Amino acid sequence: MVSTSLPGGTWTLGDLPVTRFGYGAMQLAGPWVMGPPADHGGALAVLRAAVELGITHIDTSEAYGPRVTNQLIREALHPYPDSLHIVTKVGANRDQQGGWPPARDPESLRRSVHENLSTLGLDVLDLVNLRLGDAAGPQPGSIAEAFETLVGLQQQGLIRHLGVSNATPEQVAEAQAIAPIVCVQNMYNLAHRQDDELIDALAEQGIAYVPFFPLGGFSPLQSSVLSTVAARLEAAPMSVALAWLLRRSPNILLIPGTSSTTHLRENIAGAALPLSDDDLTELDKIGR
Ligand SMILES: NC(=O)c1ccc[n+]([C@@H]2O[C@H](COP(=O)([O-])OP(=O)(O)OC[C@H]3O[C@@H](n4cnc5c(N)ncnc54)[C@H](OP(=O)(O)O)[C@@H]3O)[C@@H](O)[C@H]2O)c1
């Protein structure tokens, strides 16, 4: 078991102990997640600081950059500490305009798993999420062929655990009917509560829910209620948003993204902010 002083303690993804406070590496690539970062050394410093501060869960994808984020992770942290678990996702490519076209046919998925192994410098990927839907969010439709392809790669020993991302509840259930999953990674934060029921159902099954855009992503969370509560607590709104997520459900794992070591430290401190029942009741109104 990982022991940690990070807020939220730990969770076990399948058989992999991780800190509930993780790190999302997407922001390390260039603008709109394309190309290299303006500050290469700064990006390496953020990754090293994350591990030094005790974080054992890093979220990435070959599509970030593309390749850039995985290459930075390898440069900063390889050989990886045994305690560190890198979670990646497959199922989308990048186009010349910076779009994220789906790439969920079996050949693309196999290629993407091998590319992730190669750029990260790993023999086995700890956890691979199948990214579904599109930029507008989850979209209905069967995921059987794509998910079965990943199960085949898992059976070959290339993947330890599987998850789904940007998925509808029906697609989560469809995946689970094919093979066990250890996490669902969907968009969720104080203002976007569409997965409330799903989170509770997954908690009962011991499956992690990993919200992406916990701080609002490319459009930072803005809410007068959030600002009021934050001002009362003399805290930053982002701190309140992260602390609220940790309190929302024990199966929620945080992967806030930042390209700044200062913000990383602020977010860790902020997620530990104590919230009273009155604060929670007030914050609960935002996304309902
Ligand atoms: N599965 C999917 O489809 C999917 C989609 C999107 C993201 N993700 C994953 O989810 C992770 C989190 O999402 P995200 O990074 O897009 O969004 P996010 O965590 O909601 O927000 C990141 C943004 O907040 C800013 N920020 C962070 N801490 C701050 C602070 N203390 N003060 C001020 N600004 C702060 C960052 O800017 P600075 O860099 O200046 O700190 C960045 O612009 C990603 O890194 C990625 O791993 C997955």
Pairwise CA distance, residues 277 & 273, whole Å: 13
Buried residues in 57-94 as b, exposed as e (16+ CB within 10 A): bbbbbbbbbbbbbbbbbbebbeebeebbbbbbbbbbbb
Ligand 1 pocket mutation, candidates 213, 219, 264, criterion most atoms within 8 A of CB: 213
Residue 288 CA, ligand 1 centroid: distance in Å: 23
pLDDT at residue 1 tops 70 = no
Cα separation of 31 and 172, whole Å?
Answer: 31
| Residue-wise pLDDT tens digits, 26-52 | 999 999 999 999 999 999 999 999 999
The predicted pLDDT at position 2 comes to: 52
- Residue whose Cα lies nearest atom 11 of ligand 1: it is 24
Quick check: CB of 263 below 6 Å from ligand 1? yes
pLDDT in tens, 193-213: 999 999 999 999 999 999 999
For residue 91, pLDDT beyond 90? yes
Residue 218 alpha carbon to ligand 1 centre in Å: 7
What average pLDDT does this structure show over 179-191?
98
Structure tokens at 256: 């806030």
Q: Hey, which residues does 164 pair with through a beta bridge? A: 130, 184
Residue nearest to atom 34 of ligand 1 (CA): 263
**Cα 29 to Cα 91: distance, rounded to the nearest angstrom:** 19
Q: What is the pLDDT of residues 225-239, one digit of tens each?
A: 999 999 999 999 999
> So what's the pLDDT on residue 287?
87
Q: Which atom of ligand 1 is nearest to the CA of 25?
A: 45
Q: Is the CB of 259 under 6 A from ligand 1?
A: yes
For 171, counting Cβ atoms within 10 Å of its Cβ (0-12 exposed, 13-18 middle, 19+ buried), the class is buried
The C-alpha atoms of residue 71 and residue 34 are separated, in whole angstroms, by 13
Residue 284 predicted with pLDDT over 90: yes
Of ligand 1's listed atoms, the one at least distance from the Cα of 259 is 39
Report the nearest atom of ligand 1 relative to the CA of 267: 31
Residue-wise pLDDT for 129-169, tens only, equals: 999 999 899 999 999 999 999 999 999 999 999 999 999 99
148, amino acid identity: E
Q: Do 243 and 7 form a contact (C-beta atoms < 8 A)?
A: yes
Cβ(22) – ligand 1 distance below 6 Å: no
- 212 close to ligand 1 (CB < 6 Angstrom): yes
Closest ligand 1 atom to 185 CA: 1
Q: In this model, does residue 3 exceed pLDDT 70?
A: no
288 has pLDDT over 80: no
175-182 contacts at long range (C-beta below 8 A, 24 or more positions apart): 175/130, 175/143, 175/147, 178/144, 178/147, 178/148, 178/151, 179/147, 179/151, 179/154, 180/14, 181/207, 182/13, 182/14, 182/127, 182/207, 182/208
C-alpha–C-alpha distance, residues 170 and 86, integer Å: 27
Out of 21, 23, 26, 90, mutate this one to test ligand 1's pocket (max ligand atoms within 8 Å of CB): namely: 26
Closest ligand 1 atom to 256 CA:
19
Average pLDDT over residues 245-253: 98
Q: Ligand 1 centroid to 156 CA: how many Å?
A: 33
* Tokens, residue 181: 């999953």
Q: Which residues are catalytic?
A: 64
Gap from CA of 178 to ligand 1 centroid (Å): 31
Strand, coil or helix: 136: coil
Ligand 1 touching residue 29 (CB < 6 A): no
pLDDT more than 90, % of the chain: 97
